[in-house]
Amino acid sequence: MTRAVRYIAARTLDTAPVKSLPPGPGEVEVAPAYVGICGTDLHIFHGDMDARVHAPAVLGHEMSGRVVRVGPDTEGWQPGDAVTVMPLRWDGTCPACRAGHRHICQHLDFIGIDSPGAMQQRWTVPAATLLRLPDSVPLDRAALVEPTAVAVHDVGRAEVRGGERVVVVGGGPVGLLIALVARTVGAEVRVVELSAHRRLLAGKLGLATWDPAEQNVPELVREWTGDAGADVAFEVSGAAAGMDTAVEVLGVRGRLCLVAIHPQHREVNLHRFFWRELTLVGARLYDRSDFERAVTLVADGTIPAEQLISKVVPLAEAPSAFEALESGGDVMKILVDCTDEAEEAAV
Ligand SMILES: NC(=O)c1ccc[n+]([C@@H]2O[C@H](COP(=O)([O-])OP(=O)(O)OC[C@H]3O[C@@H](n4cnc5c(N)ncnc54)[C@H](O)[C@@H]3O)[C@@H](O)[C@H]2O)c1
Ligand SMILES: [Zn+2]
């Protein structure tokens, strides 16, 4: 048995013992060390994803850990290896896979949403999902590799180039990681974020911020860009008002990269798309090369992952950590400590 954090129903989580399956051929059993709570986990917690998530469901897809057992006929891994998991399983045969877009397979199994995730003490996954972590990276920081891979993918989808002016709407963990990755390619970046705490943290990372509740963001963008408007906007807030901001700040031929999950249909100012010849690009997940790049960016400190981690809580306290994030407390990234040591300390 292994203890796990489970989604039961809207706004209800529990921690309970669940069966851990021995690794079969091509599989590896991992002991998750740290697992991040993501905006998407909050969407699940709200009940927004009930059509997809089958309760009781073990959550968690941003993780680091160590290999415990290796299944039969599985090469290349040893117990003790430090790893992170790219939590995607594709069928390889659907039209999307055949066109080379396996990460958005039409029958994708996103491990941690569609099948049991990492917020547990033991987790069996296909060996093909593992990436090795350099010994130099502390495992808590390595839990931020997955959201960093999202950011790498998004900056690539938007084709951000050096010297471009980029507005990131929503300065949560994903938004700040996008801002940091965009900066590595030489873009000038502004972050639009409602929470004072999150703006302060962005400032400590050297990112300039605006408060959309107090400031006229489109006007500030006009001043910043000499009336041209931004080259790229990322919508990472998931809010209707955030989407409006992202559309409004773009200049002629600007690109809007949509990263956030919008569970509802939205009204969008399409006239603006026509008038300025804007482009809307969706961005979902990452591929293996994005993940490898993310391991490097976290390992070499380009992404100061430790500064984004607000708190580490033991597995038993994960449900209250979800409540804290939900109520918009002064937090950025919360990690759940799934190590056996933390579990023993809690007993
Ligand atoms: N495309 C993908 O593959 C992918 C991957 C991970 C997360 N996501 C999605 O991206 C979004 C962001 O993830 P996160 O973990 O950073 O979530 P988060 O909820 O922590 O961050 C969203 C931020 O937007 C801010 N915000 C809300 N309304 C705003 C407004 N009108 N203007 C400016 N800021 C506003 C909030 O204060 C918050 O800080 C979520 O919707 C998540 O589901 C998508
Ligand atoms: Zn497929």
Q: Which of 236, 243, 248, 325 to mutate to test the pocket of ligand 1 (most atoms within 8 A of CB)?
A: 236
Residue 314 and residue 343 in contact, taking contact as beta carbons nearer than 8 Å: yes
pTM reported for the whole predicted model: 0.97
User: Residue 296: enclosing H or E segment and its boundaries?
Assistant: helix 288-299
Q: Is the Cβ atom of 46 under 6 angstroms away from ligand 1?
A: no
With contact defined as beta carbons under 8 Å apart, do 185 and 207 qualify?
no
Catalytic residue annotation: 40, 43
Per-residue confidence of the chain (347 residues) as pLDDT tens digits? 889 999 999 999 999 999 988 999 999 999 999 999 999 999 999 999 999 999 999 999 999 999 999 999 999 999 999 999 999 999 999 999 999 999 999 999 999 999 999 999 999 999 999 999 999 999 999 999 999 999 999 999 999 999 999 999 999 999 999 999 999 999 999 999 999 999 999 999 999 999 999 999 999 999 999 999 999 999 999 999 999 999 999 999 999 999 999 989 999 999 999 999 999 999 999 999 999 999 999 999 999 999 999 999 999 999 999 998 888 778 999 999 999 888 788 76
Q: From ligand 2's centre to the CA of 286, what distance in Å?
A: 15
Question: Residues 64, 143: contact at Cβ < 8 Å?
Answer: yes
* Total number of residues shown for the chain: 347
| Separation in Å, CA 198 to CA 68, 86, 136, 241, 286 | 37, 27, 28, 18, 25
60 phi-psi bin (left φ>0, alpha ψ -120 to 50, beta other): left
**Cα distance from N-terminal residue to C-terminal residue, the chain:** 15
Ligand 1, atom 31: nearest CA belongs to which residue?
Answer: 242
φ and ψ at residue 235, rounded to 5 degrees: -95, 105
SS3 label, residue 201: helix
The set of residues, in sequence order, having a beta carbon less than 8 Å from that of 191 and lying 6+ positions away, is 167, 168, 171, 175, 176, 179, 199, 202, 207, 208, 209, 210
Mutating to test ligand 1, I would choose from 157, 174, 176, 256 the residue with most ligand atoms within 8 A of its C-beta, which is 174
Give every CB contact of residue 118 below 8 A, 6+ residues apart in sequence: 30, 32, 35, 58, 60, 61, 62, 63, 65, 85, 87, 111, 112, 338
**Bridge partners (DSSP) listed for residue 17:** 3
Domains of the chain are 2-144+303-346 (3.90.180.10), 148-282 (3.40.50.720)
Tokens of 306: 């430790």
Give yes or no for residue 36 CB within 6 A of ligand 1.
Answer: no
With a 6 Å cutoff on the Cβ, whether 194 touches ligand 1 is yes
